[in-house]
Amino acid sequence: MLDVTSAEAVEAILTAVRPQVVIHAAAYTAVDAAENDPERARLVNTRGAANVAEAARRIDARMVHISTDYVFGGTQGRAYLPDDAPAPLSVYGRSKLDGEREVVRCRPEAVILRSAWLYSSHGSNFVLQMLERMRAGQALRVVSDQVGSPTWARSLADAVWRAAARPEVHGVHHWTDAGVATWYDFAVAVQEEAMTLNLLTNGVSIMPVTSDDYRTAARRPGFSVLDKRATWAALDLPVHHWRVNLRRMLQELAGA
């Protein structure tokens, strides 16, 4: 376990190990909790990023830094390009944007890879939370006016490793699975795919609601779709629609 908020600890471990590549995925990701704990969010997401980037610079290591679609405000009517102006709405988004800027300052050759709506077969994420509530027979109310691109963590991992192996790739890039959805669409797809794989025996009612109906401490962007075309071309990886990757992840969960 490495505390990225400690510059001394980060420098000590990187100096001892001297890796060729540093992948910085550590983050304070509790978006709502960050509103009441801004100093901790900034310490991890901003100062931590600076500490890792500075240590990577000193040992001349390749660096890939993971960031988020929440650096954008969500008012644009098209997918966000990497060089579009950020306008974060939350403490979390601002702390991640400041972390990006620290990485650029300390390690200009680094890759900053923004992603969105990540899920996997382990940890805490939207898909597993939905499955838990569906198994409990809970009727669901899910926001239908926030649009993004659900992304399997394995897809992002493939992109990270490919970016790390291509030194000509640097600067800010976007990576998500293809396609778009609302959180409501995502929840409906989770139930449909899980029923097909017998991960669920009975369906539950899923009701679309607005962000105003489902208030949270932190504001979320209404439209945070990322334009990935340049990154898809640069990394030359297979690109799958989010629903295809959702099915693959649930098959993994089911042991199929």
Catalytic residue numbers, as ranges: 92
Phi and psi at residue 130, to the nearest 5° = -65, -45
Nearest residue to 249 via CA among 148, 177, 167, 145? 177
**Distance of alpha carbon 60 from alpha carbon 5, whole angstroms:** 20
Task: Give the distance, in angstroms, between the CA of residue 227 and the centroid of all CA atoms in the same chain.
Answer: 14
Residue 238 is encoded by which pair of tokens?
Answer: 């297979």
CA dist 99 → 53, 59, 78, 223 (Å) = 10, 20, 25, 22
| Closest CA relative to residue 115, chosen from 163, 147, 152 | 152
Residue listed under structure tokens 């908020």: 5
Element (H or E) spanning 24, and its range?
A: strand 21-24
User: Bridge-partner residues for 22, per DSSP?
Assistant: 63
For residue 65, count other CB atoms closer than 10 A to its CB: 27
Structural contact between residues 226 and 79, judged by C-beta atoms closer than 8 angstroms: yes
> Which residue carries 């990485």 as its tokens?
103
